[in-house]
Amino acid sequence: MPTASTKPPTISPRIERLLLVPLVVLPVVWLAGYFFPPINHDVAAIIDVSARWVGGEKLYVEIIDENLPLTFIVHALPVLTSRILPGAPTFWFTAWVVAGVFASFWACRRLVRLVPSADHALTEALLPPVLLFLFTVLPNEHFGQREHIMFVACAPYMIASMARAEGVSLTRLAAIAIGLVAGVALAMKPHYLAIPAAVELYLLVRRGWRATFTDPIPWSIGLVALAHLIAMYTIFADFGRFVMPLAIEAYTPIGEAGWRAVLTSNVLGPTLIALLIFGVIAVVFTKTVSARVLVVFGIGAAVSAVAQAKGWPYHVLPALSAAILLAALTVSQTVDRYLPISRSGHHLPVAIISATLMVLLYYQAALYTPPFYKQRQFEASIGGRLQHIIEQNAPHRTILALSPGIYPLWPMINYIDGRMAMRFLTLWVLQGVYATCDDFPALYNPPDTMGDSEKFVFDSVSEDFAREQPDLLIVDRIAGIPRCQGREFDYLEYFLQNRIFADAFEGYEHLMDFDRYRIYRRKKK
């Protein structure tokens, strides 16, 4: 019988709450920071396309982008909200994502309680705050990227799959809702479908054909994906028949790395190693079935990142999130199974362990990427300074940028309520066409030898420039195209081969050189 000196220390409920409350309050404060500019540049560009579409321009004809239709349907929601309520689309986008974070967190908290292996003091207490960290803090500058939205929307699917793997059946209504929400997020990129393919294949092997075919979740995901595919060739036929082939031809070659380099990159490589190590510990030593689901989910997310073959950090975000959640599950399951804590005496160790691990996660995240560094230096950044130049010299807020880059043109265009005076956001098609420099080629293809894709860009950009007569023409001196014949690709020189463009350019004068850009202003009449 323990003496007073050996009796385990206790903790009052008030102290326990003081330890655990920051795990919820800190993410809420962190979320508030995302409302300050700048919003992520890729997100801003997609919102701009959605706004032009909602405003009456024909998608994939008058405004052309390589993203799938469902991406613009989802991002039209904040645009439509801004038409009804005060606030810009960028504000409402952040507001909708924050709302989605809280909705997903609420759903995941309820679903965690259905997972039999999570029915332990530490596991049940630790997983929700880790999920909230992954939703709010880990994305940082990538907040709102499609990978971030996908993970937030699919987290209930991931937790529900952990329960399904352990023989738990959800109500039909809950299963359909989880499947439809996940399906919308997963269908935004075809690469994402590697995740449900991996998870459902594992569940099929574990549960058998009958349980799989009577489960509404995979059918709901498949229904959304199929409906989206049909829409690409019916409602959005211009995408399926024109933009998709154009993207396959010209967008695929763009990127800093092929799939082999992505597989061994500085982020994905360690993530795969972590998944393997944590997976072995969780599966072999804790015998946790739910951990296998996380491993499979992470592998599917890694396959998605590799398949995109770009090497961009946010592509790895879902796989990295799965690895961190798997680590938390491994720790909590080890404590719960090998050092069992009674429900009556768990308050102090659970609170201390949870708080310590979460502080470690926040600390490491802040070291890796200083929180809100882009928001703190926005005014002095290239985007903030370019915004000032345009506000001073573009009375109609119309520009045409001959550039391969989204940033810093977006979100600057969103914040000044400006307009890109051409149907493309960037010159990504030319990047694809000139991705390699063959032996002794011409620096620019002569117009009469151009392929269909290049000729379309060559003519349409010139026609848009002549028709819209933007206030400013901005020429990027870094073309994003390899040097050829010892020379740099010059977008202005390239388009001046077009008589329509050259005639329109007669009405412009050099204004200034700023950073990497040459800026021309429309002459006053």
CA 48 centroid distance within chain: 16
Q: Kindly report, residue by residue over 123-157, the tens digit of the pLDDT.
A: 888 899 999 999 999 999 999 999 999 999 999 99
Which residues of the chain fall short of a pLDDT of 50? 1-2, 4
* pLDDT for the residue 65: 95
Q: Are residues 153 and 179 in the same domain?
A: yes
Q: Are residues 41 and 167 in the same domain?
A: yes
pTM over 0.85: yes
Q: Are residues 304 and 349 in the same domain?
A: yes
Answer for the pair 302, 276: CB distance below 8 angstroms, yes or no.
Answer: no
Domain that holds residue 50: 23-371
Q: Are residues 70 and 190 in the same domain?
A: yes
* pLDDT for the residue 1: 46
Largest CA distance in the chain: 97
Could you tell me if residue 243 is inside a domain? yes
Q: Are residues 171 and 299 in the same domain?
A: yes
User: Cα-Cα-Cα-Cα dihedral of 162, 163, 166, 170, to 10°?
Assistant: -140
User: Using CA atoms, how far apart are residues 373 and 108, in angstroms rounded to an integer?
Assistant: 30
Full strand arrangement of the beta sheet holding 419-420: 419-420, 398-402, 472-476, 517-522, 508-514
Please state, rounded to an integer, the average pLDDT across all residues of the chain: 89
By 3-state DSSP, what share of the chain in percent is helix, strand and coil, each rounded to 5?
65, 5, 30
Rounded to 5 degrees, what are φ and ψ at 340? -60, 135
Q: Are residues 54 and 187 in the same domain?
A: yes
CB-based burial label for 523 (10 Å; 0-12, 13-18, 19+): exposed
Q: Are residues 391 and 481 in the same domain?
A: yes
Rounded to 5 degrees, what are φ and ψ at 415? -75, -25
Q: Which CA distances in Å does 29 have to 98, 372, 377?
A: 12, 12, 19
DSSP for 77-104, please give it. Answer: HHHHHHHHSSS-HHHHHHHHHHHHHHHH
- Counting the structural domains of the chain, the total is 2
Q: Kindly report, residue by residue over 20-48, the tens digit of the pLDDT.
A: 677 778 888 889 999 999 999 999 999 99
Q: Are residues 59 and 126 in the same domain?
A: yes
Domain's final residue, options 316, 345, 371: 371
Q: Are residues 406 and 361 in the same domain?
A: no
Q: Are residues 330 and 194 in the same domain?
A: yes
CA atoms in the 13 A half-sphere facing the CB of 297: 28
User: Using CA atoms, how far apart are residues 323 and 498, in angstroms rounded to an integer?
Assistant: 52
* pLDDT for the residue 180: 98
Answer for the pair 189, 151: CB distance below 8 angstroms, yes or no.
Answer: no
